[in-house]
């Protein structure tokens, strides 16, 4: 119960990782605000949590400043915000030479812009408290390039803009860790490796062979690092990016 009665807000809470993070935080005793652009996904995620630990399920578009400000105003009116998990993110899987500028900017807007907007609003609450923790969700592809040998005859491609946006998330983490230190707020990042989600057989096989652990991550594999960085156990850690990738980036 490392986060007993802590108030936690998770963006993108209706997605695969967001839903799993919410369950992990609930197990640690946290009270949860869930946000997602999709009300349907929010309802599904909320149904997996104890009702007594659900503070609210709030639709939010992380690319829309008014939407973000509205949600955080509701959170502020309720009380403390101890932890923000910036999990909302999107990717595209078409070759870069087919990329149009609108698609490029949409990925940047969600992944980097959304992280900025939510961090800014969370810090406005946390500075008045004198404490808080923010955990951003990056990607191993914000650290290294995707390996084209993985993407052989499958349709799934890693995009240049996804990598660029996640590199931006990692750098935003470092920036805000420095500039929020005097507010008593820690800011860190967790960068997952590839998480299994019923991708094509060819992709899964290639990715697994490229990884020392010989498998893709399970969604539960990512939770430990996120919970740790949100907890008081990481009280002297800020500005760090923990890569949870089964050793992918080690060779």
Residues taking part in catalysis: 162
Distance CA 119, CA 140 (A): 21
Measured distance CA(115)–CA(135) in Å, rounded:
10
Residue pair 45/11 in contact by the 8 Å Cβ criterion: no
Retrieve residue 116's tokens. Answer: 């900025």
Report how far residue 68's alpha carbon sits from residue 5's, in angstroms, rounded to the nearest whole number.
24
Other CB atoms within a 10 A radius of the CB of residue 221 amount to 19
Helices 160-179 and 114-129, axial angle in degrees (round to 10): 20
What's 194's DSSP letter?
P
Evaluate whether 88 touches 110 at the Cβ level (below 8 Å). Answer: yes
Q: Is 30 exposed, middle or buried (0-12, 13-18, 19+ CB in 10 A)?
A: buried
């Amino acid at each position: 119960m490392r986060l007993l009665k802590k108030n936690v807000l998770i963006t993108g809470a209706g997605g695969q990782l967001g839903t799993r993070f919410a369950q992990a935080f609930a197990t640690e005793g946290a009270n949860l605000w869930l946000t997602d652009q999709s009300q349907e996904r929010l309802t599904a995620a909320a149904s997996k949590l104890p009702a007594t630990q659900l503070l609210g399920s709030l639709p939010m578009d992380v690319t829309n400043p008014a939407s973000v400000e509205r949600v955080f105003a509701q959170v502020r009116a309720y009380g403390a915000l101890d932890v923000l998990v910036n999990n909302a993110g999107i990717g595209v899987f078409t070759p870069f030479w087919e990329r149009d500028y609108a698609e490029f900017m949409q990925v940047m807007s969600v992944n980097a812009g959304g992280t900025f907007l939510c961090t800014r609003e969370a810090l406005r609450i946390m500075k008045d408290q004198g404490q808080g923790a923010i955990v951003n969700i990056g990607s191993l592809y914000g650290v290294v390039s995707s390996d084209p040998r993985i993407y052989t005859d499958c349709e799934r491609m890693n995009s240049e803009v996804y990598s660029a946006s996640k590199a931006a998330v990692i750098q935003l983490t470092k920036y805000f860790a420095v500039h929020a230190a005097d507010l008593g707020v820690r800011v860190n990042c967790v960068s997952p490796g590839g998480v299994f989600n019923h991708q094509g057989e060819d992709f899964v096989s290639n990715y697994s062979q490229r990884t020392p652990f010989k498998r893709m991550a399970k969604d539960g594999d990512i939770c430990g690092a996120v919970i740790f960085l949100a907890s008081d156990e990481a009280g002297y850690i800020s500005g760090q990016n923990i890569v949870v990738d089964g050793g992918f980036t080690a060779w």
